[in-house]
Amino acid sequence: METRRLGDTDLDLSVIGLGTWVFGGRWGGTDDDDSAAAVHAALDAGVNWIDTADIYGQGRAERVVGRVLRERGADGVHVATKGGVAWELGDGGLRIWREARGDYLRMALERSLIALGTDHVDLYQVHWPVPGVPPADTMGALADLRDEGKIRWIGVSNYDRAEMDAAYRARPFSSYQPGYHMFRRQVEDAELPWCADHGVGVIAYGPLAHGLFTGKMDEATTFAADDWRAASEFFTDGAYPERVAATRELAAIARGAGRVGGIAELAVMWVLRRPEVTSAIVGARDAAQARANAALAAAPLTGDERAAVDAVLARHPDIARPYGHGEPPVREEAPQ
């Protein structure tokens, strides 16, 4: 599989990375053995890096990744995890909130290292920006952890341009992880150009639009109560039928171009068309999905394909509305 260098790091990442949010649940249920099989299959198929986070199942996803690394060894595998979402399990159930203070991130990283069964990670990213927490506190802690050898490279996720600018002034970082797909292009206006100007690599999550670009959904698709998509405007607002219609048009473009992976292949290669993007993160529930996702790394989009996609998006402007995808609340709304 093709690799690309991540920003100013020495990490050459496969253009498809394995996403593990599904391992922690919130996607309608999951099985740890299936999750472990997905990791093995992805690595066997040429994927060389794994994206995870402590909040995915409150350590569950990280433990699955750690299990696989013990089973096969970690040589040649780059592990990226994220911290910055705290949680509390009480009588009212699970509560989560954003937390990016330096002392918290130090604790969170130590917990992640235990779950992963390692003494360091290749990349550690702040999962969400937290208003009111000084960037110097957040980024200074990560720089200290890097100096201690517990993190090789640092980055941020879900920040906007102003937030990245403030964080970068506090301490330069190497990666940015935004949500990015054909119906979610907001980062093209400011964040991707900022990354290009600062030499920051981009690892994009959600290239398949949370499953819509698998081509398996229609207007009647529903989700289980424990699936975050059941409450997301992306799948429930008045524009959802139009998103499905536009997806069918995009699938026709993929068929016409002879793309074996169909619209999923088109969607991944559309994200990878941007020179700022190092890799597209694609989640997998089991080994079969992981193998299929690895095969989506294919030929670059042609000029005709790009023009055809642009025409579809221009015909359906309402499909690009901002939407929620399980964002944690800020600290002021959290338990104290």
Q: What is the pLDDT of residues 50-103, one digit of tens each?
A: 999 999 999 999 999 999 999 999 999 999 999 999 999 888 788 999 999 999
For residue 44, the model assigns a pLDDT of 98
For residue 334, the model assigns a pLDDT of 43
Q: Is-catalytic flag, 56? A: yes
- Answer yes or no: is pLDDT of 206 > 70: yes
pLDDT digits (tens, 9 = 90+) for 139-155: 999 999 999 999 999 99
The amino acid present at 76, given as its one-letter code, is G
- Answer yes or no: is pLDDT of 316 > 90: yes
The fourth-level CATH superfamily of domain 3-212+271-299 is NADP-dependent oxidoreductase domain (3.20.20.100)
Q: Token match 């253009």: residue?
A: 15
- Answer yes or no: is pLDDT of 181 > 90: yes
pLDDT band at 331 (very low <50, low <70, confident <90, very high): low
- Answer yes or no: is pLDDT of 326 > 80: no
7 against 336, higher pLDDT: 7
Q: Which of 87-96, 217-226, 305-314, 322-331 has the lowest mean pLDDT?
A: 322-331
- Answer yes or no: is pLDDT of 333 > 60: no
Residue range 271-297: mean pLDDT, rounded:
98
Residues 56, 104, 159, 180: which is the catalytic one?
Answer: 56
What residue ranges in 105-174 does DSSP mark as E strands?
A: 121-126, 151-157
Percent of the chain with pLDDT over 90: 89
Sequence-distant (≥ 6) Cβ neighbours of residue 20 within 8 angstroms:
35, 39, 50, 51, 52, 53, 56, 61, 64, 65, 283
What's the residue count for the chain? 336
Kindly state the DSSP code that residue 106 receives in the 8-state scheme: H
Where do the domains of the chain lie? 3-212+271-299
Tokens describing residue 77: 């595998």
Residue range 113-141: mean pLDDT, rounded:
97
Mean per-residue pLDDT over the chain, rounded: 95
For residue 332, the model assigns a pLDDT of 52
- pTM, two decimal places: 0.95
Cα 78-142-140 angle, rounded to 5 deg: 155
For residue 324, the model assigns a pLDDT of 79
pLDDT digits (tens, 9 = 90+) for 221-270: 999 988 889 999 999 999 999 999 999 999 999 999 999 999 999 999 99
- Answer yes or no: is pLDDT of 321 > 90: no
127, 249, 272 from 255: Cα distances, Å: 36, 10, 19
Contact between 278 and 5 (Cβ < 8 Å): yes
> Which DSSP string do the residues of 75-91 spell out, in sequence order?
TT-EEEEEE-EEEEEET
- Answer yes or no: is pLDDT of 305 > 50: yes
First to last CA, the chain: 47
